Structure 1
Amino acid sequence: MHHDTPLLTTLVLGLGLAYLFGMLAQRFKMPPLIGYLVAGICVGPFTPGPLANQELATELAEIGVILLMFGVGLHFSIKDLLSVKKIAIPGAIVQIAIATLMGMGLAHLMGWPWGQGFVFGLALSVASTVVLLKALQKHDVESTEQGRIAIGWLIVEDLVMVLALVLLPALAGLLGGIGSNSSVGIGELVVVTLAKVVAFVAFMLIIGRRVIPWILEKTVWTGSRELFRLGVLAIALGVAYGASHLFGVSFALGAFFAGMVLAESEFSHRAAEESLPLRDAFAVLFFVSVGMLFDPSIIIKHPYALVGTVVVIVIGKSLAAWGIVRAYGYSSSTASTIAASLAQIGEFSFILATLGMSLGLLNRDANALIIAGALISILLNPLLFSFLLHQLPQDGIKQESA
């Protein structure tokens, strides 16, 4: 007897094709992320062939976002950031501002409203954690000063994007999107939103940092690896859900702080290890769902806009980073490493674009350009990284003054 099983169909199509295209991408020395996005394009509504349930894929992607942000929190290191704070903090903020303005300029040429241009530019300004770390590891520079600066820079970018995810819903009306139905003004709404965030952060720092490690400690005493894995998953999802329903902040922020609090405990390494399979599986579904939103016709409809998007990501953003690092007195090789590391976009761009679409701040064309820009920049990044590292002289690196 045949049963209608849209959830099972979506999982089978999404994971099955993601595995197939991920293997092909790996075979051709490309990040598997490319394969996952292609899988989503294949089962999306804009291409012929099997069609997955987009609503279910979006729900599953929400879990993927929660677990991705939980993983970012688990690997968040204040020590790494503080060691390069003099260059990473101002450098990342200025680079985000420059890239956002370039994206807004491109959006203006296309006749888009300024609010949409702002979200579009913001999505182009942040590099992919996955791609950046793998590039540094591949060239064995993650433990060098260049690598520490790149990682610190990335941490600042991630923190700015977390803040953007929190504030965008409150600012949506001002930016021309779907605003709140409340009669409260924009300024008051932002203040209320920030107050909720502060309340949530205080709750996590005062109570969460004691309760979460205590729960995992009790779980460890049971000697059950299965229960420990389940406990980590329950904490990630539970804190994200509670943050949204009790404090009115995003799932993403809740999951990030759950990971960050857990990162301070003695169980952080084991929690990261045990949660990795589930994080990977749902992250794959997130990238598949992003691919489903991609309309390939954008290549024909707006070829110049696509070229402009890639130029902003690969050239504009990189030149900005290179110039900032050089302005701080670092060598050209250090500046080139940072520039190459940031010459792509990825998961945070997709999360921001998904939120922007739900708030009416991005249209399908803008989302398609972001996805296409990510695909092309991720493909070009290894070539650019190899060229800059092997063609430029590896001269000395200026040490920061005390």
Structure 2
Amino acid sequence: MSTPIVFASAPSRSRSLFGDQEQDDMSKLLGLALNQRKSALPSREVEGLRKMLGGTSLGGTSLGGTGLSKDCDCGACPYCRGVMDASYDKARRNLRREAPVAPLSGAATPSSSYLRRAAVPSKFTTDVRPLVVIAIDGVLDAPLPYHLQGGYDDVLSRPYLRTFFDYLLSRESPYCFCFYSSLPRKQALRTLEELNLPTGGPERDERDGCVGLFAADDTHPNFGGKGIKDLEVIWKELEKEEGIRWGVENTVVITCRDEFPLQPFNYILCPETEYLSSVAPADDIFLLLAIACLKDLETESNFAAHIKEFDWHKPQIWSSRDEHSVNERNSYLLLAVRTCAVLRINIKAFRGNLRKSG
């Protein structure tokens, strides 16, 4: 899924008619030609060439050198512009708090400890305080193309989004939940506001049910941004903030990307929602099916084992048209409708901007 394109202010363009790369090439070609002549040009011609190249240093009046002078401070030559651009980029990175994301060490495969824990059969239990980790991008929203946006973060909500969160935030729901996104934190927060969803986190009192947001520019190696995700990062961070140690047995991720190879049985892989879709809003029922899945997991002692048993981590069950998959989705839909009826939750398939719609 593509994310909205944000046009940030960029470093000033070259003052000459040439771009930086073209100007460097011109400097090299000019120096080579002048070296072949092995003769000095009058200073008037040197000055003319220097102005034509936007202030490029030509190694003095003899044109003996072809490189750029590192002592130059004219502010117009490629060397000076390179220094200014580097300073600008550094300041911009500091402003956006773009912390380097450390790559995963070793093979991106589940550990033997994880496989042992995931293999323990799940049993009925009522003593559980589970965690739902929800991807914003592609699961909850579809960003509008840039030329159609009224703002940088205008999005279309997925059908039944309000119904899904009415269940999560109901008094009878045992779940805590957090979000993650490939967007920078500031933009991810604006997206949640556009969807009229809670933002939670340690900076608030958390009465809205959300315990955190993991964004691309946060200092969380191997979780923020794009690429492979490691649930250990979330478990450790939330343990420090919430005092609860979640793990393999009581965590489920709802995502549309297969990016959890380290915990392959702890996520539900759903179809991605898109701006242009051939599916009518009322027919995109995944968030209703997700209610049924979470309701089913409420009383399970081992989420990973249960998800693996029912293949929720495979996309076929949510999109295949074979008889078995269709019948299974219908049974989940029936459970979701019953759950909403008991909790007196309205079932709405609205697809649009929830904040602007009220």
Band the TM-score falls in, shorter-chain normalisation: under 0.3
- RCO higher in 1 or 2 (8 Å CA, sep ≥ 6)? 1
**TM-score normalised according to structure 1 size:** 0.20
Q: In terms of Rg, which structure is larger?
A: 2
